[in-house]
A and B are shown apart, each in its own frame.
Chain A
Amino acid sequence: MLEFLYNTGRYIWFLGKVFSKPEKWRIYIRQLFLEFEKLGINSLGIVVIISIFSGGVISLQTAYNITNPLIPTYMVGLTTRDSIILEFSSTMLCLILAGKVGSNIASEIGTMKVTEQIEALEIMGINSAAFLVLPKIVAFVFIVPILVVLSMFFGISGGYFVVSVASHIVNSENFIYGVHYAFQPFYVTYSLIKSSIFAFLIVSISSYYGYFTTGGALEVGRSSTKAVVYSSIAILVANLLVTQILLS
């Protein structure tokens, strides 16, 4: 309990340091574009692949479980759409990104810490936390909703391809009708709000564990693991709270 309180306090102090005025905006903006590429564009491949396959599996499982002839087949499209939009493309995708991006950030910053690169920044009079972390947070919070929209598109497309084009379990018109049926645009907004919050949690928690790494390579590995574990837990808790607030 004491350790939890200690880490929470230090995390808040760390965020205060991260969100202080940058020394030179021009350099921060340049860093921001580098982070867009590193955290966002480099995650595009995995997002597309996972979304297509997960969309395919969701639609297949739904189709195989709807055995009642009274349930119309367009429900496969509807269920796939809602599963993808409400939960998969925001929560599941962010959990996956917590593994990929979170471990990357924690190990990058952790290595900088143990090789004294962070001390070198501080000696120069640079706020190392703001310089290293702020561009990552801004870039990821901005880019994740874009990745989520792409994931929604590829997820639903994957479902359509698997059950309608490849296996002909549900005909195309019915699947597309189901995707359009009773569509609530707010679900997309809800999903995007969630994903931005998750993006903030992933980067800030992972950076926190990287920034306070002490020791050597072994500790960098430990920080990386902690970053993924605690980011994932934070995402699950935040998911529950945000869902309660936005959908209740």
Chain B
Amino acid sequence: MIEVIDLHKSFDGKEILKGITATFETGKVNLIIGQSGSGKTVLLKSIVGIHKVDSGQILLHGRDLVKMSPKEKKEIRREIGMVFQGGALFDSYTVLENVMFPLEMFTDLSYAERVEKAEYFLKRVNLENVNHLYPSEISGGMQKRVAIARAIVLNPKYLFCDEPNSGLDPKTAKVIDELIAGITYEYNITTVINTHDLSSMMEIGDNIIFIYKGLKKWQGNKDQLLNSGCKELDDFIYSSSILKKK
């Protein structure tokens, strides 16, 4: 479980996170939602330790990330897998090498074992016959799946995804959503996804946190989402003319 307590973060004097307190549950798909500029990417990157917070606590199974030494942070990061918005695959490595990279860096497995494990996870994300291609030679959806395989290859406790569906067509986006949800339940991971994709919210949102102007405005699940009673959330969800309340 991940708990964030009274989290504050500013950039150049501008406060982006204004005291967020939220809980992200293990074995569930936790979504951070909100409009662009609301602070959800800053929140996600603060939780994984990319951004140093001004104040507050980030508890990963009770261990406070904020108070950890750089060495402890480095250790705990090996329990974290992250899927970036653009995939962030290493351009100079092939698909297989990208997935093998964390294994090579942090395990003592032999080359054959590393290949076997990387191939297993590539199959797990439904990718075959692309092992020797470079990231630039595969589609955006495939890149996201390779990024997911790389993020879970070390069996992380925590999986973070920054807008995994951005730039994907609805069908591919659904495949990615189902894949992340499936992996979360199968490996009992604490998954945190940053998204503003309504389909994702309705399909896989076990625990949803709505951020509005740097504050948590609402927390619930996909069944409660459409009747939240939160004006800002309603404005966000029903901003599309298709869904606009009559």
Contact with B along A196-238 (1 / 0, CB 8 A): 0000000000000000000000000000000000000000000
Asked if A119 meets B50 with Cβ closer than 8 Å, knowing A24-B105, A27-B105, A124-B102, the reply is yes
In whole Å, how far is B158's beta carbon from the nearest beta carbon of chain A? Answer: 11
B88 touches which one: A24, A116, A125 (CB < 8 A)?
A116
Say whether B12 faces chain A, with CB atoms less than 8 Å apart: no
Spot the interface stretch: B77-85, B168-176, B186-194, B230-238.
B77-85
Q: Is B85 touching A116 in the complex (CB atoms < 8 A)?
A: yes
Neighbour of B82 across the interface among A23, A27, A120, CB < 8 A: A120
Contact B88 A120 (CB under 8 A): yes
Q: Which residues of A contact B82 (CB under 8 A)?
A: 120, 123
- CA–CA, A123 to B48, complex, Å? 7
- The residue on B at minimum CB distance from A120 is B88
Report if A126-B105 is in contact (Cβ < 8 Å); known contacts: A117-B88, A117-B89, A117-B90. yes
Q: Is A243 an interface residue (CB 8 A)?
A: no
Q: Would you call A115 an interface residue if the criterion is a C-beta within 8 Å of the partner chain's C-beta atoms? A: yes
CA distance A111 to B90 in the complex (A): 11
Contact A125 B78 (CB under 8 A): yes
A23 to B73, CA, bound (A): 14
User: Which residue of chain B is the closest to A121 with respect to CB atoms?
Assistant: B90
B220 part of interface (Cβ distance < 8 Å): no
Task: Report the bound CA distance from A123 to B85 in whole Å.
Answer: 14
- Chain A residues contacting B105 (CB-CB under 8 Å) are 23-24, 27, 124, 126
Count contacts on B: residues with CB < 8 A to the other chain.
Answer: 22
Q: Give the distance in Å from the alpha carbon of A120 to the alpha carbon of B45 in the complex.
A: 11
Asked whether, in the complex, the Cβ of A119 is within 8 Å of the Cβ of B88, the reply is: yes
Number of A-B residue pairs with CB-CB distance less than 8 Å in the complex they form: 47
Q: How far is the CB of A95 from chain B (nearest CB, A)?
A: 27
Q: Which residues of B contact A119 (CB under 8 A)?
A: 45, 50, 84, 88
CA distance A115 to B86 in the complex (A): 7
In angstroms, Cα B73 to Cα A123, docked, is 10
Residues on B with beta carbons closer than 8 Å to the beta carbon of A120 = 82, 84, 88, 90
B238 to chain A, nearest CB (A): 32
Q: B113 → chain A, closest Cβ, in Å? A: 15
Beta-carbon contact of A123 and B86 below 8 Å:
no
User: Contact between A117 and B91 (Cβ–Cβ < 8 Å)?
Assistant: yes
Q: Is the CB of B78 within 8 A of A124?
A: yes
| Cβ contacts A4-48/B at 8 Å (1 or 0 each) | 000000000000000000011001000000000000000000000
Chain B residue with Cβ nearest A124: B102
Closest CB of chain A to B10's CB: distance in Å? Answer: 17
Most buried by B among A23, A24, A124, A126: A124
Bound-state Cα–Cα, A119 to B45, Å? 10
Within 8 A of A (CB), among B2-59: 45, 48-50
Most buried by A among B73, B75, B106: B106
Residues of A within 8 A of B48 (CB): 123
Does B63 sit at the interface, judged by CB under 8 A?
no
* Of the residues A27, A111, A115, A124, contact of B77 by C-beta under 8 Å: A124
Give the top 8 A-B pairs by smallest Cβ distance, nearest first.
A125-B77, A116-B88, A120-B88, A116-B84, A125-B74, A123-B82, A117-B88, A125-B78
Q: List chain A positions with a Cβ less than 8 A from chain B.
A: 23-24, 27, 111-112, 115-117, 119-120, 122-126
